Structure formats: C-alpha cells, structure tokens
Homo-oligomer: A and B are copies of this chain.
Amino acid sequence: MGSKEEEEEVVESREWVLSSYSPQGLPTSDHLKIRKVSLMIGDNVIPDHHVALKLLKLSVDPYLRLIIIGRQDGLYLPQVELNKVVKTFGVGRVVRSKDPGYRRGDIVVHPFLGVVILFPFFEVADYCVIPANSLRKVDPTAGISSSDYLSSLGLPGFTAWVGMQHIGNPKAGENVFVSAAAGAVGMYAGQLAKLKGCRVVGSTGTDDKVKFLKEDLGFDDAFNYKKETDFDVALSKYFPNGIDIYFDNVGGKMLEAVLNHVNRHARIPLCGMISQYNQVWNDREGVRNLLNAIGKEVRLEGFLAGSHLHRFQDFTTEMEGYIKQGKIKSKYQIYNGIESFLESLTSLFSSSNVGKVIIQVSKDEEP
C-alpha cells in the first residue's frame, strides 16, 4: 500500500473495450481490444462519493458472452455499448477516496452480487473510478478470502444456492445430476446437494475434472461427457434409479437426454445453457422430448439469482457457515494480468478450466 503510483495524479492503466459485437462463435481480438489509457485520479478529478480502485481480482463468468452479441438474447441481458469498457465483478484496493466511508488501502468488493444489471461493475481494467455506494468493504478478520466473495459467496455460489435449494428443493436420498459440474456454479450446486444427503453425479469435460469432482469435492460419481458417444447410455449407467433433480448448466442435447431419465416429479432448475451461448438462434439444438415432462410431471424452471436478493442474507449466513466449517470447497482457475481477459473468457467454453475463473490483475497487492 501507498506505493509511489498512488501518490500520482495520473496512473497508467489498461482496459478492455468492446470494438464490435460477436454474434456467434468465440469472440476474438476483432471484438474485444485492450487499450492503454492514462487515468486521472487526482482529488479534483474524482467525483464526490466515488473512489479510485486498483483492481486486484476480476471475475470471469459465462454470461459475459451474452452481453457482447449485439442483440437481445434469451437471458435478456443489456448489451455492452460499442467502444465502452466491459465490466464485471471484482476485488479492488482503494487508491483514492472521495467518500467518507472509504480510505486508501481498503479492500472492497461489489456488494449484492445479484443486482448485476442495476449497479455499475468494476471495469475490466487495471484501475477504475466508481461510485462508493456500490461497494462493500472486506473485513480481513472474518476468515473469508477475497476470492470467496467472487465465488462461493458471490454470483456463482448464490446462483447455485438459489437453484438447488429453492428451485430444486433436494431431499435426502434423491438422485441429483449437475452438468458443467466442475465449473463455478456446478461445483457449489453439487456440494450443496451432498450436504442435503443426496446422491450427486456430475458431468464435465476432462478426466482430470472427473477426478477432481470425485476426489476433491466428494461427488458420488462423475463422467467426462466428451467420452460418451450416447448420453442416454451414460445416464442409464450413472442413474440406474433415475434423476430427481437436474441442475442444468448446459442445455441442448444433455437436457434432452436427461428428459429420458427423469423420475416422477423431477425438478430441473434451468441455470445456464453454455452449450448454446456461441450458437446463433437457428443453429441451436432443439429439445425434442418435452412430452416426457408431461408423463413424468416434471417442472423445468428458469431462474435468475438477481430475483432472489431477498434471500441473499440467508444465503450468506448459510454459506459462510459452511465455509468456516470446511464443508464447502472452492477451486480457482487463475489467469494472470488484465491482458488475459480475452483468453480467460474464451476458456470458459473449452473445458480447460477447473472451478471459478478469476483474473489476478495485480499479484502483489492483496493483503
């Protein structure tokens, strides 16, 4: 803290700007460009009730893919404007403050992570200036790491909790299937179901992640969907007694296969459909067997964590308890430096990551 640059009126920063929309496929450097800027952070420049932050960590999540496609899509997310800096969740250190609640050196995170659409985010940059009312100070004595605020206690953890507890409503002994299970949301969804006494099986995209789910997270079983030529056969094998809850992170063919293995009154929290995010509408895989949802009286229910903010305090209490008792584990996939943003974003669609993807913007600054 208190390094020389923070005494300056101007800092050299890099920031990621949306140069053109990316309607399908993976975004490239044609769409997202990094640029250098000199950011004015003098006291006479920063507005009242704003702070200047040096970013320490930034969160990289799949929904980011859907805010740079240039059209309304299924999540109805507002699109990033062209030539604007992309925003996300993060952890930052205050380098200048024009708000009485914050001092230089405070570590801050975004407050209630469900309200992603309503509040300004942290910019995908080395430094940014943002309103202080969108921040929460991290208590260094609470025994919670700053990464937890981006993961288990952040959007992924809250999303998993809402979907599993409030949409899925697991009961001891039920059979629970989680897709993209080694991803940020999936790893918490599966662990929460285990804590309720369910039998939990996850699908993921590499053998290493299969091992991670079984050995590190305590899933009852897991499989590499890329090695399964027929999802129906795989689900018959892993769910001889059928599926009671399917926490759907992928959509498409896996959802269709699951509908052939659902038990009566199964619940399917629709959380994400990452298999479809890079597809244009007409190329998306249709689900042809919704008729099964009638015969087995299945409920498919889409949800957004942001609509359950009235439950955020309950979530925080429960999840912090689990974390302190060591009952919920987290794994992070760390990318280094703000320059890794594009790579880390496209990596979300490549099976190459384990756990929550985080950019370590500044290595040497975290307390």
Q: Which of B271, B276, B285, B299 contacts A300 (CB 8 A)?
A: B299
Which one of B273, B291, B303, B304 contacts A73 once the chains associate, using CB atoms below 8 Å?
A: B291
On whether the beta carbons of A295 and B255 are closer than 8 Å, the reply is: no
Q: Which of A108-137 contact B (CB under 8 A)?
A: none
How many of A's residues come within 8 Å of B, CB to CB? 37
Q: Which residues of B contact A251 (CB under 8 A)?
A: 290-291
- A96-114 CB mask vs B (1 if < 8 Å, else 0) is 0000000000000000000
Q: How many copies does the complex hold?
A: 2
Contact, CB under 8 Å: B255 / A290: yes
For A253-283 the 0/1 string (1 means CB < 8 A from B) is 0011000000000000011110010000110
**Please, how many angstroms separate the alpha-carbon atoms of A270 and B76 in the complex?**
24
Is A74's CB within 8 Å of the partner chain B? yes
A293 touching B300, Cβ below 8 Å: yes
A76 touches B300 (CB 8 A): no
18 contacts between A and B (CB under 8 A): A73-B291, A75-B291, A270-B293, A271-B294, A281-B288, A282-B288, A285-B286, A286-B288, A290-B300, A290-B302, A292-B302, A293-B302, A297-B307, A299-B299, A299-B301, A300-B300, A300-B301, A301-B301
